[in-house]
Amino acid sequence: MRVVALLLALAACAHAAPQATQPNTAVQVVAADSLARRQLVAVAQVAPSIRQEVRYASRNNFTGEVLPGYGAAVVLLRREAAEALGRVQARLAAKGLGLKIWDGYRPVRATLAMVAWCERTGQTKLLDDGYIARRSRHNQGVAVDLTLVELASGREFDMGTPFDEFSARSHTTNATDTVAANRQLLVQAMEAEGFTNYVDEWWHFSFVVADAAPYDLPLERW
């Protein structure tokens, strides 16, 4: 397998759970684009009823800019994760509910841009606190940011904070009443198909595959 060594400013999982098992090494080995094309799949092909709003392909995100590598508003995941997400959607649909995705696979260059934004704007505390990570499961196509919606209307459930609010209010268990119940409903639905929630971000879930590797294939070239 051809690989490309790509300098990664520091390292770890942006918008994805920080990974204690991945040291902050200076160099990250990135898999070839050809492998990414074989291993990633469009979620819309596997589960077309899942709604999508790819935030980083627009200016409607915390940086205020379209991130590098997001030249197309498409959600990709490793096939195993996409199929598991399809099963979550099927379970929810039986109750009149569904999922809405904000982000899936994220090119390494986009993670680098997030880190650079933190450093440029003096918000490196977001890196220290794990809200923006330097190496990401999103880069491997095994993490997804999403919420619950009403299946028919697409109306989002009240989760207490917007997507990408970097504060303690976004911690999954830091909620009461309806918001707590909604977050727990999402967690239970995702965990039933093998996803794990990142406790500091109610919207972030990851999936385990044996041969996960980071990619830098731009979405517009998939």
- Name the residues annotated as catalytic: 201
| The pair of three-digit structure tokens given for residue 63, joined into one six-digit string | 């940086």
Burial environment of residue 27 by CB neighbours within 10 A (0 to 12, 13 to 18, 19 or more): exposed
Using the structure block, give the residue that is written with the tokens 């990851």: 206
Write down the H helix ranges in the chain. 33-39, 43-46, 79-93, 108-120, 125-128, 177-191
Buried b (16+ CB within 10 A) or exposed e, 49-67: ebbbbbbbbeeebbbeebb
Buried b (16+ CB within 10 A) or exposed e, 116-140: ebbeeeeeeebbeebbbbbbbbbbb
Q: At what angle do helices 79-93 and 177-191 cross, to 10 degrees?
A: 130
